[in-house]
C-alpha cells in the first residue's frame, strides 16, 4: 500500500490486539523534540537537564515545582501544556482512549494542535490498508481547516493553510515573495482538483496538502467522505453505520441531528425548531447526510428506527472547521454501548 503522512508519528506507535494505537516511549520523545521544547542557546541549566532526562525517560514524573524552576516563562508555559498532554497519553494508554477522554472532560484545555495530531494519526491507522487516494485526501478535512470556494458550479475545498501560503507568493516560494514585495503580480497558481480519474497524483505528495476536492452533493469526494466517517465511527465503537448524502430533510418525525462543525450545529438546530433560513445562512450549508446504524439495538429506544441527520457548513470566512469528535460524543447510543 502507498505510504502517506510520513511525519504524523504513526510509525512510532504500536498497534494493540484491538487495533488501537498504543503509546510508546519513542512517540513521547518526539514531543520533546518539538521546537517549542528543545533547548536553545539561552536555555538555563535546569531546562537543559530536564529536557535531557525526559529524552532518556519520557514517562518520568515532572512536578510543578520542577517546571517553575525554569528561568524562561515561555518555557514554563510550554512544559506545563506538554506535560499535561503527555500525562493524558500515558494514563489513557492508547491514542483512541486519550482522544475520547479529552472530550469527555468538561474543562479540557488540550491545544487544538495536539487534538488534530491525534486525529491525523488515528485516521492514518484507520486508512492503513487503503489504496484509495480520494479517501485519504478527503480525510484531511477531519484535522485541517478547509477553505471553501465556488468555481464554475463546483464547491471546492482546499487546505486553508496552503491557500494562505500560496496567496502570499502565488505559489512560487521565495521567488514569488520577491515579486509580490516588488509590487508586481505573478500569475495565479492553480491547485489540482482530485477525482477518481486523477487521484493517484495524491501519492506523489501526500503530506503537502496542496490538492483540492469538489464537495458537490452526490459527488465522488462526498461519497469518500461518507466512507471515512463510517470508518471513524466503526474504529471507536465497532458499530456499522451507513451514511449517505441528501439534499434536504423532509421528515415529520425528525428525532436527532449532529452538526459536523459549529455552524452546521446552529443551522440544524434552527431547522429542527421550524425556523426559515435566510439566503446568507443557506449559502453557508455545504452538505447534508443521513446516517443509519445496522444494529438498531445500539440506539436509544426513543431514537431507534429513525435516521440521524448530519450537517456540514462554513463560517463567515468560508472556512470549514470539521469536528470529528461530534461523530463520537453526540451519537444517541443506548446505555449498553
pLDDT at residue 152 greater than cutoff 80 = no
Question: Could you give the percent of the chain with pLDDT greater than 70?
Answer: 93
Residue 49 in contact with residue 28, Cβ under 8 Å? no
What's the CA gap between 32 and 50, in Å, rounded?
10
Render pLDDT for 102-124 as a digit per residue (tens, 0 to 9).
998 877 789 999 999 999 999 99
Does the reported pTM lie above 0.75? yes
User: What letter does residue 15 receive in the DSSP assignment?
Assistant: E
d(CA 228, CA 141): 10
The percentage of the chain sitting over the pLDDT mark of 90, rounded to a whole number, equals 80
Distance from the first to the final alpha carbon of the chain:
33
Distances (CA, A) of 181 to 175, 176, 186, 189, 234: 10, 9, 11, 17, 50
Name 311's Cβ contacts closer than 8 Å, sequence gap at least 6: 257, 258, 259, 260, 264, 265, 267, 268, 285, 287, 288, 289
With contact defined as beta carbons under 8 Å apart, do 267 and 274 qualify?
A: no
Q: What does 107-157 look like in DSSP terms, one character per residue?
A: T----HHHHHHHHHHHHHHHTTT---HHHHHHHGGGTS-EEEEEETTEEEE
**Res 188 pLDDT > 70:** no
Q: Which three cell numbers stand for residue 290?
A: 443521513
Q: What are phi and psi of 82, to 5 degrees?
A: -70, -40
Give the span between the Cα atoms of 241 and 230, in whole angstroms. 6
Instruction: Answer whether 233's CB lies under 8 Å from 299's CB.
Output: no
Q: How confident is the model at residue 323 (pLDDT cuts 50, 70, 90)?
A: very high
- Which of these ranges, 11-20, 81-90, 310-319, 327-336, has the smallest mean pLDDT? 327-336
Helix (H, G, I), strand (E, B) or coil at 187: coil
User: Exposed/middle/buried for 62, CB within 10 Å: 0-12, 13-18, 19+?
Assistant: middle
DSSP track, 190-223:
--EEE-TTTGGGGGGSTTS--EEEE--TTSHHHH
Alpha-carbon distance 5 to 197, whole Å? 22
φ/ψ of 83, rounded to 5, equals -65, -40
For the cut 90, the answer to whether the pLDDT of residue 222 exceeds it is: yes
- Residues 22-63 have pLDDT tens digits of 999 999 999 999 999 999 999 999 999 999 999 999 999 999
Amino acid at each position: 500500500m502507498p505510504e502517506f503522512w510520513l511525519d504524523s508519528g504513526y510509525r512510532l506507535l504500536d498497534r494493540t490486539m484491538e487495533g488501537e494505537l498504543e503509546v510508546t516511549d519513542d512517540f513521547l520523545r518526539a514531543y520533546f523534540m518539538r521546537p517549542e521544547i528543545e533547548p536553545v542557546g539561552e536555555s538555563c541549566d535546569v531546562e537543559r537537564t530536564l529536557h535531557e532526562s525526559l529524552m532518556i525517560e519520557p514517562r518520568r514524573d515532572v512536578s510543578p515545582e520542577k517546571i517553575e524552576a525554569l528561568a524562561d516563562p515561555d518555557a514554563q508555559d510550554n512544559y506545563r501544556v506538554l506535560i499535561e498532554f503527555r500525562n493524558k497519553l500515558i494514563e489513557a494508554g492508547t491514542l483512541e482512549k486519550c482522544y475520547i477522554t479529552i472530550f469527555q472532560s468538561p474543562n479540557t484545555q488540550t491545544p487544538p494542535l495536539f487534538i488534530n495530531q491525534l486525529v491525523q494519526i488515528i485516521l492514518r491507522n484507520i486508512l492503513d490498508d487503503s489504496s484509495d487516494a480520494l479517501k485519504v485526501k478527503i480525510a484531511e478535512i477531519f484535522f485541517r481547516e478547509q477553505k471553501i470556494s465556488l468555481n464554475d458550479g463546483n464547491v471546492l475545498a482546499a487546505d486553508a493553510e496552503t491557500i494562505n501560503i500560496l496567496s502570499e507568493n502565488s505559489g512560487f516560494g521565495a521567488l514569488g515573495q520577491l515579486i509580490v514585495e516588488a509590487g508586481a503580480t505573478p500569475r495565479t497558481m492553480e491547485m489540482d482538483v482530485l477525482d477518481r480519474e486523477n487521484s493517484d497524483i495524491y501519492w506523489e505528495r501526500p503530506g503537502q496538502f496542496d490538492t483540492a476536492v469538489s464537495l458537490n452533493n452526490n459527488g465522488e469526494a462526498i461519497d469518500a467522505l461518507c466512507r471515512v466517517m463510517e470508518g471513524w465511527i466503526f474504529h471507536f465503537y465497532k458499530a456499522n453505520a451507513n451514511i449517505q448524502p441528501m439534499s434536504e430533510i423532509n421528515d415529520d418525525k425528525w428525532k436527532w441531528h449532529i452538526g459536523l462543525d459549529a455552524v452546521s450545529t446552529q443551522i440544524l438546530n434552527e431547522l429542527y425548531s421550524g425556523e426559515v433560513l435566510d439566503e446568507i445562512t443557506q449559502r453557508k450549508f455545504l452538505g447534508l447526510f443521513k446516517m443509519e446504524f445496522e444494529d438498531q439495538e445500539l440506539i436509544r429506544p426513543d431514537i431507534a428506527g429513525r435516521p440521524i441527520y448530519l450537517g456540514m457548513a462554513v463560517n463567515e470566512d468560508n472556512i470549514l472547521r470539521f469536528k470529528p469528535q461530534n461523530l463520537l460524543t453526540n451519537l444517541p447510543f443506548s446505555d449498553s454501548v
